[in-house]
Structure 1
Amino acid sequence: MARHGGRTVRDLRRENRSAVLQRLYFDGPMSRLALGSAAGLSSGSVSNVVAELLADGLVEEAGSLGADGGRPRTLLRVAAGRGRLVGVDVGETRVRVELFDLAMSELARTESTLPGHGSRSYDVGVVAGHILDGITEVLGADGAAPDARGPGELLGVGIGVPGIVEHTAAGTLVHGQTVGWDAVPLEALLRGSSQLPADVPLFIENGARTLGQAEMWFGGGRGARNAVVVLFGSGVGACVVTDEVEQGRAVEWGHLTVQVRGRRCRCGARGCLEAYAGAEAMLARWREAGGQPPPGTDEEAALTALVSAARPGDGGEADPVAAEVLAETAEYLGAGLADLVNLFQPERILVGGWAGLQLGPAFLDSVRTHTLAHALRHPAARVGIALGRLGPDAVTVGAAILPLAAFFARGGHRAPVDSPTPVPAWQTALGGRLAEQRGGG
């Protein structure tokens, strides 16, 4: 096969298909003329690629655009119904599974509660069962067959998990110290079930990272190259996206030491940020100080009670204990964010996760004040701090982006299951769009 600079004709064709798909996805509908300019391709190359993608059902016509003195230009877009994507959020209290089309419109969802929340040690077999049952349920609700090919085929399953994710030749391992997982072979467990067909691509990443890529593609991170996206749930974590970490990196930010010989963290160390911030730590400190969440409530309802006690909406008197817990948490979280500002100098910090969104703008104002007080003046003056925009489904959206990005990177072909774990393509796609925007400015 002919080679061009070390690349084969097949490589070039795949790259051209990938460029066209990405530009249509982010900026479509577009005409062939505009598409050629955006993708950096000649009119002949665009025509050939578009013809292939139309024949494959990946692209469809989306009306026309009038042209002065000439014939209207046909607009093109990615065909949303061409494939299906599953996103899974393995949280610390529940597993959420959602099915999306290529436009990331939700088609079906299910959620199940995890047992053993008090012990913080989860049976991986139970978790894997919830994941597999959830996948089966959402596919059944949509009438899709997981091993079908062609229109509506399942392009892959993405899973966001707590802990450190290690990709090995034998499959993906999860090191979730706070939930009692030590090198758990999650991929092998899922692959070993008949509920997941052997040819369906599977992508497993840290939940903070999937949250980060969702916000970067569709939420508050759009247009930024340097950002930190914080996952504030039962614990805390972060995804760092910088010029130096172009693919995004999940960091165990919650286990940064903020108090030497401080409170015992659930990871076993003392003084971690997560021992002071995060919903579980907040509720523990409230109880220790005499606070009384309503009996029998789950973590989310108990946090709602804490916030209501600290900031009663009817003009009543605030509970000073609850108010002090909120104030102290904001100070610790602000100090932790200041470390991220000093280390990575991001343009933006976005706070997501169910607890972060529940605490809301008033809490974030206090966090922002403490962040700016602790950070170095120069990077602090350049950073914007805001809530994430995608709500509680951000992790499942980000997880579903994993197979979508790989699908685009392969020019609209599903990744083979036995291929090595690919370099994540979501930031590469985003980076190409940013470069184009900056060049046009």
Structure 2
Amino acid sequence: MAESNRRTVRDLRRGNRARVLQRLYFDGPLSRQELGPATALSSGSVSNVVAELVAEGVLEEAGVVDSDGGRPRTLLRVSPTSGLLIGIDIGETRVRVELFDLSLTELARTERLLAQHGYDVERIVAHVRTAIAAVLDDAGASAERLLGVGIGVPGIIEQDTAQGATGAIVHGQTIGWSAVPLEKLLRDAVELPPEVPVFIDNGARTLGQAEMWFGGGRGSREAAVALIGSGVGACVVHAATPDETARSSALEWGHTTVRIRGRRCRCGSLGCLEAYAGAEALRERWQEAGGPLPADADDETALAALLAAAFPGEEGPEPDPVALSLLDDTAEYLGAAVADLINLFRPERILIGGWAGLLIGPHLLPEVRRYAGEYALRYAADRTAIELGRLGPDAVTVGAATLPLADFLARGGSRPATVRRA
């Protein structure tokens, strides 16, 4: 056992590279002199690692700064052009695919609507295949430059690691997916070099990682990130600093009970949060209340109409009292469910994101905070900030791209061609 736990020289070298690379990615540009105390590595180790990464094109110079009485210091940063990343959001209404450079600057994007055909697995796989080809073509990029493809999907993700494994398997009860071997289906259909890794995770977890690294959760030690779209989910992240192993859990928060013997949820249960606060449920509730919607209105159109009726603006008609009442009920359901997150996890921050969450959030957030304070334990509630996510409706796609990015940084900048994913 002791022999199997012994770190090799290769492990130590990769670990040193990872520490330098992670520090420069999240806190750079930095000089070699600054990297020593920032990484707790000796000056010799820093010099060796930097020389390797510069020679491989992973790091580049980013200017010179004067030092106090000494020689000017050269700043270093991770080269944005040293690799490409693809992030994919298989959402409730569309498949969104974006191509990024290593700094997560968007290079190309495309979308495929799902409203007409829903969650047919073969059709979604076909969408992903054509969309990946499209963004690479639009950017004039080669698939050989990809460091990986990250995908966020609804449901519970099982990683099949047995011999002859098929990779990630998706259990998505609300979308009709039962043990779908999504990774294998994509590998068989999408034209990617075999060494390019594919990472599949729950969409709320990808949203959570994006917000913790670059958005409203940055700097916090624990946060809960809610994803409100047509459905509802959440992720809790602990110790999520970029250079340490974060512990994150996708929560089926939308399927916690907020009303005994309440509305039938699409998962089959009664009284779920999703049956009251998801965009699909809000559309149905607005129609049932007599809201003026076409029978074939989609979730996005319906939610916009509901908000316009409740909050018409200064020069508009009087607010619709039925719409206002419906949204106040929704704020209370969300507040009670947020209180559950506070009481169970005591996070420093709770962020509300997802396309629907960002639409209703500016109108409902004060009431959500008030209701959460009424339902949660006072001590915990007083120490939890409840805010909107900061990365916009594309945050799941950005978060999906952080999956291969995190892998690349953890491997110390080794390219997929040299380290194939098991």
Residue aligning to 1:368: 369
| 1:361 to 1:336, Cα distance in 2 relative to 1, 3 A | same
Aligned partners of 1:23 and 1:39 also within 8 Å? yes
**Corresponding residue to 1:143 among 140, 143, 158:** 140
**Corresponding residue to 2:149 among 140, 153, 157:** 157
**CA apart distance, 1:359:** 1.3
Matched, 1:167 2:159: yes
Residue aligning to 1:223: 219
Aligned partners of 2:125 and 2:189 also within 8 Å? no
Secondary structure, counterpart of 2:394 in structure 1: helix
Residue aligning to 1:309: 309
Residue aligning to 1:400: 401
Distance in 2 (alpha carbons) for counterparts of 1:199 and 1:419? 7
Matched, 1:103 2:103: yes
188-197 vs 267-276, greater mean Cα deviation? 188-197
**CA apart distance, 1:71:** 1.3
Aligned partners of 2:197 and 2:421 also within 8 Å? no
**Corresponding residue to 1:122 among 101, 119, 122:** 119
Secondary structure, counterpart of 2:393 in structure 1: helix
Residue aligning to 1:185: 181
Aligned partners of 2:225 and 2:234 also within 8 Å? yes
**CA apart distance, 1:316:** 2.2
**CA apart distance, 1:4:** 12
**CA apart distance, 1:243:** 5.0
| 1:256 to 1:173, Cα distance in 2 relative to 1, 3 A | same
Aligned partners of 1:190 and 1:196 also within 8 Å? no
Secondary structure, counterpart of 1:361 in structure 2: helix
Residue aligning to 1:210: 206
Q: How does 1:279-298 map to 2 (within 5 A)?
A: 279-294=279-294, 296-298=296-298
Residue aligning to 1:90: 90
Distance in 2 (alpha carbons) for counterparts of 1:290 and 1:193? 45
411-420 vs 190-199, greater mean Cα deviation? 411-420
- The residue type paired with residue 148 of structure 2 is G
Distance in 2 (alpha carbons) for counterparts of 1:378 and 1:80? 44
Distance in 1 (alpha carbons) for counterparts of 2:82 and 2:385? 38
| 1:107 to 1:272, Cα distance in 2 relative to 1, 3 A | same
**Corresponding residue to 1:419 among 411, 418, 421:** 421
- Per-residue CA deviations over 1:196-240 (Å, capped at 9, x if unaligned) read 332210000000000000000000000001100000110110000
- Per-residue CA deviations over 1:66-88 (Å, capped at 9, x if unaligned) read 01222100000000000000000
Secondary structure, counterpart of 1:392 in structure 2: coil
Distance in 1 (alpha carbons) for counterparts of 2:317 and 2:190? 56
**Corresponding residue to 1:133 among 130, 151, 157:** 130
Aligned partners of 1:81 and 1:101 also within 8 Å? yes
Aligned partners of 1:174 and 1:185 also within 8 Å? yes
- Per-residue CA deviations over 1:145-184 (Å, capped at 9, x if unaligned) read 21x2xxxx10000000011111002211101111100001
Distance in 1 (alpha carbons) for counterparts of 2:358 and 2:377? 27
| 1:418 to 1:17, Cα distance in 2 relative to 1, 3 A | closer
TM-score (norm. length: structure 1): 0.90
Distance in 2 (alpha carbons) for counterparts of 1:164 and 1:59? 37
**CA apart distance, 1:418:** 5.5
- The residue type paired with residue 311 of structure 2 is R
Residue aligning to 2:19: 19
Matched, 1:195 2:191: yes
Distance in 1 (alpha carbons) for counterparts of 2:190 and 2:6? 41
| 1:42 to 1:267, Cα distance in 2 relative to 1, 3 A | same
Secondary structure, counterpart of 1:192 in structure 2: helix
TM-score (norm. length: structure 2): 0.94
Distance in 2 (alpha carbons) for counterparts of 1:226 and 1:252? 18
| 1:68 to 1:84, Cα distance in 2 relative to 1, 3 A | same
**CA apart distance, 1:292:** 1.7
Aligned partners of 1:98 and 1:396 also within 8 Å? yes
- Per-residue CA deviations over 1:39-88 (Å, capped at 9, x if unaligned) read 11110000000000000000000110101222100000000000000000
Matched, 1:176 2:172: yes
Distance in 1 (alpha carbons) for counterparts of 2:134 and 2:7? 42
Distance in 1 (alpha carbons) for counterparts of 2:334 and 2:229? 13
330-339 vs 309-318, greater mean Cα deviation? 309-318
Distance in 2 (alpha carbons) for counterparts of 1:317 and 1:56? 64
**CA apart distance, 1:195:** 2.0
340-349 vs 269-278, greater mean Cα deviation? 269-278
Gaps of 5+ in 2: none
- The residue type paired with residue 203 of structure 1 is F
Distance in 2 (alpha carbons) for counterparts of 1:315 and 1:122? 38
Distance in 2 (alpha carbons) for counterparts of 1:58 and 1:194? 27
Distance in 1 (alpha carbons) for counterparts of 2:256 and 2:293? 28
Distance in 1 (alpha carbons) for counterparts of 2:214 and 2:142? 28
Secondary structure, counterpart of 2:71 in structure 1: strand
Distance in 1 (alpha carbons) for counterparts of 2:273 and 2:301? 23
Distance in 1 (alpha carbons) for counterparts of 2:295 and 2:270? 29
Aligned partners of 1:132 and 1:196 also within 8 Å? no
Residue aligning to 1:390: 391
Matched, 1:355 2:356: yes
**CA apart distance, 1:409:** 0.5
**CA apart distance, 1:415:** 4.4
Distance in 2 (alpha carbons) for counterparts of 1:236 and 1:137? 30
Distance in 1 (alpha carbons) for counterparts of 2:229 and 2:200? 19
Gaps of 5+ in 1: 421-441
Distance in 2 (alpha carbons) for counterparts of 1:18 and 1:194? 30
- The residue type paired with residue 130 of structure 1 is H
Secondary structure, counterpart of 2:72 in structure 1: strand
186-195 vs 18-27, greater mean Cα deviation? 186-195
Aligned partners of 2:125 and 2:186 also within 8 Å? yes
- The residue type paired with residue 209 of structure 1 is R
